[in-house]
Structure 1
């Protein structure tokens, strides 16, 4: 539906209130079509978009409610292995990740990943990379230990490998993955040299596609300050170690 596409454009611009208006109008049309036939997928797509708006607005219960409706519609359509089902499972996982319910987040991400792999096979595909990146985030946000750190880094790199092959060099998903690896090196490995390396790539991409006041660029500037602080601490420790040797 054209209204749905307009809503998507507004959503990408973070105009969530206006996006919701278009999604609701699109849903009203879809319901009329639905009465004339089993148009489950069209309805599901629109309801899923409404769920995404609720998710961005941090109305998690409302988002989960919409996603549950989508799951039931897809079940009615007999779509047990479908890209929209995988997408919905991924969306549910994102809600649980925000709620810090890591077990449920990981369960839904793994279900989505398995379904995407069944659909696309061995093909490198951006949605597969998205799930890999999200699984990496689950392990990153859990308690730091050797297993979580190694697993987190492994998933981030798998995502980066796919995205690097299938996306334009200035795509925001690439910037996100480089940012995640930056934070991994900074907060898990305390390696400011590697952190700055990945930060530079991520920041360059965000800078080329976003306005200066965009929330992602603001976050990157905050990360830059964290790296500077880490570098200063490293230099200070080197000075202290040198003095001890004198």
Structure 2
């Protein structure tokens, strides 16, 4: 990907052809389609693609343009959320939290307190605080997400499993291995009911649980 004639809004994307039988390509493109085309349009779709490719600076340019062109709050909320994710990728955690908080402020005006969108945002904020070693806030936001998931999702939902796993990771970092073990077990129990044995998420759950067991 390169800039065209100094125009900071136009980019040339060079693609490399692969064979139709490339199994790895099918897996990757299938995942990309699922992520990119889930309701995204136009510039938003481009921003999502750039984010998925790790082109965080370019993704930020796209979302800054989108934010400037957007007038209604409910459309700004997901843009702030994506800017937060971009800032996470850039390692700028304070900016990450600021963008997520702006998204939450809008959500509070238009959504019910138990809306799953809140839980999604809280689940995005938790790991940021964990990266900053602010464990109380990390635990608080993951617990907020879990509270909403428990009220709104089936007891065997994968998002619920991920939430248990997230809380287990925070307890692990805090040295609270008893709670880390409890939450990690719950995540694995749900994951085993839903996911194939080689699913990356399930492998993560199992790895985290085994790690806690080793250090206890």
TM-score under structure 2 length normalisation = 0.76
Indicate the SS of the match to 1:213: coil
Among 83, 104, 108, which residue is 1:113 paired with? 104
| Structure 1 residue 17, shift from structure 2 partner | 7.6
Q: CA deviation at 1:195?
A: 1.0
Once the two structures are superposed, the pairs formed by residues 43-82 of structure 1 within 5 Å of their partners are 45-74=41-70, 78-79=71-72, 81-82=73-74
Unpaired runs of at least 5, structure 2: 1-26
Shift of 1:46: 4.2
Q: Deviations over 1:203-235 (max 9, x none)?
A: 22223333322222222222122112112xxxx
Mapped partners of 1:46, 1:108: distance in 2 = 22
Whichever structure has more strand as a proportion of its residues is 2
- Paired with 2:210 and 2:53, the residues of 1 have a C-alpha distance of 28
Deviation at 1:100, TM superposition (A): 1.9
- State the Cα deviation string for residues 66-125 of structure 1 (Å, max 9, x = none): 323332332xxx31x11x3211111111121232211110110100111111111x5311
Q: How does 1:156-235 map to 2 (within 5 A)?
A: 156-188=142-174, 190-231=175-216
Partners of 1:140 and 1:163 in 2: how far apart?
Answer: 20
Which string of whole-angstrom CA distances, capped at 9 and with x for unpartnered residues, describes residues 123-161 of structure 1?
311111122222222211103xxxx22222122111111
Tell me how far apart the structure 1 counterparts of residues 28 and 160 of structure 2 sit (CA, whole Å).
20
Q: Partner of 2:118 in structure 1?
A: 128
What TM-score do you get using the length of structure 1 for normalisation?
Answer: 0.67
SS in 2 for 1:205: helix
Find the partner of 2:76 among 85, 88, 103. 85
Between structure 1 and structure 2, the one with the greater Rg is 1
Q: CA RMSD in A?
A: 2.5
- Structure 1 residue ranges, 4+ long, deviating more than 6 angstroms after superposition: none
3-state DSSP class of the match of 1:15? Answer: helix
Relative to structure 1, is the Cα distance of residues 210 and 54 closer, same or farther in structure 2, using a 3 angstrom cutoff? Answer: farther
Distance of 1:18 and 1:192 partners within structure 2: 36
Is the helix fraction higher in 1 or 2? Answer: 1
Contact 1:16 1:53 in 2 (8 A): no
Count, aligned residues: 188
- Per the alignment, do residues 18 and 55 of structure 1 end up closer, same or farther by CA in structure 2, a change over 3 Å counting? closer
Distance, in Å, in 2 between the alignment partners of 1:56 and 1:18 is 8
**Equivalent-residue separation in structure 1 for 2:215 and 2:119 (angstroms):** 30
2: CA distance, partners of 1:16 / 1:61: 25
Structure 1 residues 71 and 160: alpha-carbon distance in aligned structure 2, compared to 1, 3 A threshold: same
